[in-house]
Amino acid sequence: MNESERGKEEFYSEVQELIEGLSRDLLSLDDQEKRKKVEPDLVNDIFRAVHTLKGLAGLFGASRLGVLSHNLEEILDDLRLGRRPLTREAIDLLFKSIDAYGQLLHMEQSQEVDVPPALEQFFQDLSRFVHVSEGPALAPLAEYELDAGLLSVLTEYEEHRLRTNIQQGMSLFRVRTIFKLQTIDEELEQLKSVAKPLGEIITYLPTGGGDSDTIELEVLMASGAPPGQLQKTLGGPLIRIEELARRSSAPAPAPASEEHGHESLAPAKEVDSDPHELRPTPGLQTASLKSVSQTVRVDIRKLDSLMNIVGELAIVRASLARIMERVRGQGALRELGVELHRLHRAFDRHLGQMQDGILEVRMVPIGQIFDRLGRIARQASREAGKQINLVITGAETEVDKLIVEELSDPLMHMVRNAIDHGIEGPEERQRVGKPEQGTIAINAFQKGSHVYLEVEDDGRGMDPARLIETAIQRGFLSEQDSRELSHQDAFALIFLPGFSTKTTVDMLAGRGVGMDVVKTNISRLGGVIDVQSDVGVGTKMTITLPITLAILSALIVHVGGQPFAVPLSSVQEALVFDPANLRTVDNREVMTLRGATLPVARLARLFQMEEQNRGFVVVVAAGSRRLGLVVDYLEGQQDIVIKPLGPSLRQVRGFAGAAQLGDQRVGLVLDSPALVEEILAGEVGKTPLGLRRGMA
Amino acid sequence: MVNSRGSRQLGRRAQAAERGGVTEFLALRLGSEIYGVPLTHVREILVAPPLTQVPRAPHDVLGIINVRGHLVTVIDLKRRLGLPDLEPPRKGRVLLVPGPEGELLGLSVDEVLQVYRLSESEIEPAGVLGGNVAEHVAGIGRRDGALLILLSPRALLGGAA
């Protein structure tokens, strides 16, 4: 990749990040607007993001991105300055612009020239909107005895904020405080953060007071809190607070300070009052510069290759351990052996730290995709004419970057399905006594080396009997086999390819749209998906995923003289195999484990290898289902770097890949969910369902 | 094992040779017969490394090996060609050849012999063997009384299972 290409890549990913941030902020804005409590800082953040986008687009000659950003900037500037009210129309337009950004970015990347008509239409709508301005009535400033000197130094934005605050019935305060010159940035930041819960700082100006080491500032603040509370919260020996007099209200104290204020505010006229430039405080500026310089964007492939090196090092470590054992066995070399042992331990520890470090770098909060989901949910619920409340918890749960990327499509499908088929229309909800607004809860959390993702709706739920009926109608299932299906099995029907068709809009079909794809994607990530549903109450789907794909702990077992790795995440327990415990039920081998029936598969037989010992049973689980794998013997636990099998072995089922196990040995990694699926599907019988699931 | 410099040299020589109307073939033995594959198709020759069997893989897949951190699927060339599987490999080698979808495949052979430089006059088309010749046979090479069955790598691997 040459310099300019790399620059472009950087540009794309930076724009992508900005768009994602923008999308997140817009959701908050939407939310705040609904609660009629819009935070001015949020509008500023959005304005700033668009401003940055405009700059970037200019830098890289992406003119269409530039034009879009420019128009948005105009609208946002009007919004933040109160020249235009924040209407639903404006918010909708902003939301649409996120999609437009996405499309434009894609076009930039693929160097497409033709703008799709829909996008062209949006551009026209946007520019029409820019030129319509509805100036809201100005709030009266006259109510306060603010002198012209003060008003003249306020920027347009500050004036707007002042008016808004007065309109909201806030009182104005003048806060005088003395800062040390050396630490003014930090002290100012601290003051701001302390003041924020109480009100808004409109502006601050130096009074000209203070000695060579200090500076006196006068802060104009709007707050609904009583002066006493302000004094208590902000207070300190160096802070004085006065309330500004209101013309109509009771006489205010200290006209002298008013005069003083005039004098002190006067010298600050040189302050830049360009309405397009938010005046960043010195403190803010340094803080943001810092955060930029401390972040690096890294291609995930580079991390993969680092992880491969760690894998190779782990093999070196294993060889070292063997040499160490040999040295220790020889009496004459005892001292050397002890030293080697110490070195080996240090090597082991540092390697472990390095592995953890690389894994940590790959981890990103899963919330990244939730932002996108919010937007999709909003759109889908509008299209479906349903009111949806998307409740997200656990957005900070960290998962491997690759998994997060791959999760976004399946999650989108699931949320869409929940909206389209799970949540009832408002009338129906009212009739059954549910709140009109449906709730979709997405919950992410970590447990052990797994991440759990739940998507739960309070919709109409799925009826197993109806699912089975549909499956029989469609020829997925014979009537006879259907009697043997448990509820759990019935829900699994929705994952069959083509289970639902568009011709049926009854209450349970339709669910299957894309669910087979969801399942395929999840299993490709080494995850499983479980469904629980109660008619009339709702549906809950739980995805269980490994935290990382890069490296996994595995139990090394031997079958037919060859090592196999079983991902430890799927292993529940391992026990000594007792042939006396084995029973045959309907031609299937099962054993009893603590009073419960456990289906058993002899791996050697399954893989057509020579059974040598069959000494142990490894119990693996996929979702709520369990299976005992009979193996020759257990070798132990090892961390492995898993690699995919080549395209020539793609159709071979039952293996997730292979890994190097040391001594040049390559071991196949068992795909436990697929094996569980295969064996348990066989139990249903040789039905179309069984065959299908066995092959899938 | 031919190191990477070695394999680059192989490649360069093969290219130069083809320009002069001469093609270089690597001669290899499968059972009692001698086969030739275009040298340009051979990336590397490996002494057969420890092999891991893949259960449920197609019949002609011997297993997978680890080549400097990459997994390579090894195909038994004899099985792929439908030849009897008699001798246990002793001088067995694995040729790394490009397969479909950018995958590097290993071809297991009984023995690697030498490189033949064959001019066009020394190559007969497969048609001389009659109508019923396997698709993967591209022709017959003759040199000093030796007979070389020339393989078409594309026909051999194109349908790689």
Q: What is the pLDDT of residues A371-429, one digit of tens each?
A: 778 887 887 788 788 888 888 888 888 888 888 888 888 888 888 888 888 888 888 89
> What's A551's DSSP letter?
-
DSSP, res A418 = I
Domain boundaries, chain B: 4-157
Instruction: Write the class of the CATH domain B4-157.
Output: mainly beta
The residue ranges of every structural domain in chain A are: 3-131, 148-292, 300-361, 366-546, 552-695
A223 pLDDT above the threshold of 60: yes
Q: What's the topology of domain A552-695?
A: OB fold (Dihydrolipoamide Acetyltransferase, E2P) (2.40.50)
CATH code for the structural domain at A3-131: 1.20.120.160
The tokens for A356 are 């953890």
> pLDDT for A143-157, tens place per residue?
666 666 666 667 777
**Contact at CB, A652 and B161, closer than 8 angstroms:** no
Q: Which residues of A touch B72 (CB under 8 A)?
A: 646
Note whether A610 contacts B: Cβ–Cβ < 8 A. no
**A631, A648, A652, best to mutate vs chain B, most B CBs in 10 Å:** A648
Give, rounded to a whole angstrom, the gap between the first and last alpha carbons of chain A: 39
Q: How far apart are CA B152 and CA B41, in angstroms?
A: 10
- Chain B residues near any Cβ of chain A (below 8 Å): 49-50, 52-57, 61, 64-66, 69-73, 75, 99-101, 103-105, 160-161
Residues ≥6 apart with Cβ < 8 Å to A251 = A245
Cα A446 to Cα A545: distance, rounded to the nearest angstrom: 9
Please give the residue that has the higher pLDDT: either B4 or A347: A347
CA distances from A384 to A96, A173, A425, A508, A515 (A): 18, 49, 8, 16, 19
Handedness of CA A486, A488, A492, A493 (dihedral sign): positive
> Does pLDDT of A341 surpass 90?
no
Q: Rounded to a whole number, what is the distance in Å from the CA of B66 to chain A's nearest CA?
A: 7
| Lowest mean pLDDT segment, chosen from A301-315, A581-595, B73-87 | A301-315
- Report, at the CATH architecture level, how domain A148-292 is classified: 2-Layer Sandwich (3.30)
Mean pLDDT of chain A: 78
Q: Helix (H, G, I), strand (E, B), or coil: what is residue A609?
A: coil
The partner residues of A583 in beta bridges, in order of sequence, read A590
DSSP β-bridge partners for residue A203: A220
Does A160 have pLDDT greater than 50? Answer: yes
Report pLDDT for B72: 92
Phi-psi domain of B116 (left: phi exceeds 0; alpha: psi -120 through 50; beta: other) = beta
Would you state the structure tokens that stand for residue B13, as one six-digit string? 């020589």
Q: Please state the φ and ψ torsions of residue A556, each to the nearest 5 degrees.
A: -90, 120
Chain B residue closest to A654 (CA)?
B56
The identity of residue A683, as a single letter, is E
pLDDT digits (tens, 9 = 90+) for A498-557: 775 433 443 333 444 478 778 878 877 878 888 998 888 999 999 988 777 667 788 999
Q: How many CB atoms lie within 10 A of CB A421?
A: 24
Residue A298 has pLDDT above 90, yes or no: no
CATH topology for A366-546 is: Heat Shock Protein 90 (3.30.565)
Are the CB atoms for A376 and A352 separated by under 8 Å?
Answer: no
More confident residue, A403 or A284: A403
Q: Which of A661, A666, A668 to mutate to test the interface with B (most CBs of B within 10 A)?
A: A666
Is the CB of A666 less than 8 angstroms away from the CB of B161? Answer: no
A660/B69 Cβ within 8 A = yes
A279: Cβ–Cβ under 8 A, 6 or more apart, which residues?
A155, A271, A272
% pLDDT > 90, chain A: 9
Kindly report, residue by residue over A225-278, the tens digit of the pLDDT. Answer: 777 777 777 776 667 777 777 655 444 333 333 334 343 343 333 334 444 444
| A579 has pLDDT over 80 | yes
